[in-house]
């Protein structure tokens, strides 16, 4: 039973930062935005990178044109590298519209999201940049909340909170809930590390071009802004919607790639540790633990427990293995009840392990595979 005991110790060590992050919000007012908002109207450039979005782009443009923000103060910058009719749909949509203003930049080849974002921001006419995606929908007041938050000179960027998961995935819902709580706590302490590409606003004056092979362009922008001394906050009222699936295989396209981007970013920014206030002393180290260390400890600890049971009490070990398999099968169809949240952590750890292996083999050129499952859900339910 030594292996079982050792495995349980490893699992406890792996879970300590999670318990800390889950416990602090119960005693700290983390859901109160840690800044003073000042209502204002500034000109805003909405940045929208697109690739083969012909089926979605019209609804996305309708959403952006219906936001409760003066249309004359908005500019839409679309950078398109599609092989379908995305650009034609954009031109047709704006054919008889004077507002918001449109800049359509058509690329002759596909160079990835990071390159598209760099080009869009370089072309943007305004200081406030609002980064979003085609397969998401913004709350009507999202830009207003962003601009009001950016009136604080100490704030360089603000991201939103996902409040609905199209498709009803409990795995994604639980994961997003845990992530939002973490972001709220980090914002209260200093700045949040992870931001959301579908709903992220910042000032162009603090933007530095990001690496062309970046797989987490949104969070890389945030990290570079924080290095300039400006805070990055998550605003709970700045809301957006995305699609999600619970299927284990279906989640891999988006989640594994996203995990690669975050690990890549941590690897390239080790100089954050121990600098920039609580961001470098608490936020970044805890994210290092969450993203780089905890997944390996969790798998190692679970493997030791199962191996210990199989070698000392074989019938119990077999039942435990079958229980794990059953848990994965039930988790994919949202049937784990109160255990759905731990399953969401397991799913995230799986992505991070796959991501680390893929990064080790030098995979990742800045382009993303299209997430077909989520796109299908989005088209059906949006």
Tens-digit pLDDT profile for residues 249-260: 767 767 888 899
Provide the domain count of the chain: 1
Q: Is the pTM of this model over 0.95?
A: no
The label of the residue with tokens 């992050």 reads 21
Least confident of 6-20, 238-252, 357-371: 357-371
| Residue 361: domain span | 1-382
Tens-digit pLDDT profile for residues 110-143: 878 999 999 999 999 999 999 999 989 999 999 9
DSSP 178-238: HHHHHHHHHHHHS--S---TTSEEEEGGG--PPPTT-S-HHHHHHHHHHHTT-EEEEEEEE
Mean pLDDT of 67-92: 95
Q: Which residues contact 48 (CB under 8 A, 6 or more apart)?
A: 60, 64, 76, 77, 78, 79, 120, 132, 133, 134
Q: Torsion angle of alpha carbons 180, 184, 186, 188, nearest 10°?
A: 180
Instruction: Check: CB of residue 159 under 8 Å from CB of residue 236.
Output: no
Does the pLDDT of residue 366 top 70, yes or no?
A: no
* Average pLDDT for the chain: 90
Tens-digit pLDDT profile for residues 20-77: 888 888 888 988 888 888 899 999 999 999 999 998 999 999 999 999 999 999 999 9
Tens-digit pLDDT profile for residues 221-265: 999 999 999 999 999 999 999 877 777 676 776 788 889 999 999
Read off φ and ψ for residue 28, nearest 5 degrees.
-120, 145
Least confident of 43-52, 277-286, 346-355: 346-355
Residue-level pLDDT at 338: 86
Q: To 5 degrees, how large is the angle CA 228–CA 234–CA 236?
A: 160
Does the pLDDT of residue 331 top 80, yes or no?
A: yes
Q: Residue 6: which H helix or E strand, with range?
A: helix 2-23
CATH number for position 35: 3.90.550.10
Within a 10 A sphere around the Cβ of 358, how many other Cβ atoms?
A: 16
Round to whole Å and give the CA distance between 52 and 101: 22
Does the pLDDT of residue 362 top 80, yes or no?
A: no
Q: Torsion angle of alpha carbons 260, 262, 268, 269, nearest 10°?
A: -170
Do the bridges between strand 74-80 and strand 44-50 make them parallel or antiparallel, or are there none, so unpaired?
parallel
Tens-digit pLDDT profile for residues 146-194: 999 999 999 999 999 998 887 778 888 888 888 999 999 999 999 999 9
């Amino acid at each position: 039973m030594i292996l079982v005991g050792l495995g349980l110790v490893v699992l406890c060590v792996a879970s300590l930062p999670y318990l800390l992050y889950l416990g602090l919000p119960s005693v700290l007012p983390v859901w109160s935005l840690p800044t003073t908002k000042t209502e204002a109207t500034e000109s805003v450039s909405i940045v929208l990178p697109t690739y083969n979005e012909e089926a979605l782009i019209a609804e996305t443009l309708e959403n952006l044109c219906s936001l409760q923000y003066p249309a004359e103060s908005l500019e839409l910058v679309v950078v398109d590298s599609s092989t379908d009719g995305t650009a034609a749909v954009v031109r047709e949509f704006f054919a008889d519209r004077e507002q918001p203003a449109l800049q359509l930049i058509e690329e002759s080849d596909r160079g990835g999201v990071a390159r598209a974002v760099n080009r869009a921001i370089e072309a943007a006419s305004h200081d406030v940049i609002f980064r979003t995606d085609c397969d998401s929908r913004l709350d009507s007041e999202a830009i207003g909340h962003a601009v009001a938050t950016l009136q604080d000179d100490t704030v360089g960027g603000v991201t939103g909170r996902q409040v609905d998961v199209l498709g009803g995935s409990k795995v994604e819902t639980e994961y997003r809930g845990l992530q939002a709580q973490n972001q709220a706590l980090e914002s209260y302490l200093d700045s949040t590390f992870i931001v959301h590409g579908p709903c992220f606003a910042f000032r162009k004056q603090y933007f530095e071009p990001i690496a062309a092979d970046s797989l987490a362009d949104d969070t890389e922008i945030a990290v570079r802004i924080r290095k300039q001394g400006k805070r990055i906050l998550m605003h709970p009222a700045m809301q957006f919607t995305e699609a999600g699936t619970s299927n284990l295989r279906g989640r891999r396209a988006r989640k594994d790639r996203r995990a690669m981007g975050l690990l890549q970013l941590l690897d390239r920014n080790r100089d954050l540790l121990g600098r920039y206030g609580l961001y470098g002393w608490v936020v970044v180290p805890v994210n290092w633990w969450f993203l780089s260390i905890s997944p390996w400890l969790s798998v190692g600890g679970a493997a030791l427990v199962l191996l210990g049971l199989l070698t000392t009490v074989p019938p119990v070990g077999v039942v435990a293995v079958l229980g794990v398999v059953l848990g994965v099968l039930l988790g994919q169809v949202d049937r784990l009840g109160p255990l759905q949240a731990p399953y969401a952590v397991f799913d995230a750890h799986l992505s991070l392990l796959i991501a680390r292996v893929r990064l080790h083999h030098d995979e990742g050129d800045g382009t993303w595979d299209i997430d077909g499952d989520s796109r299908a859900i989005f088209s059906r339910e949006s």
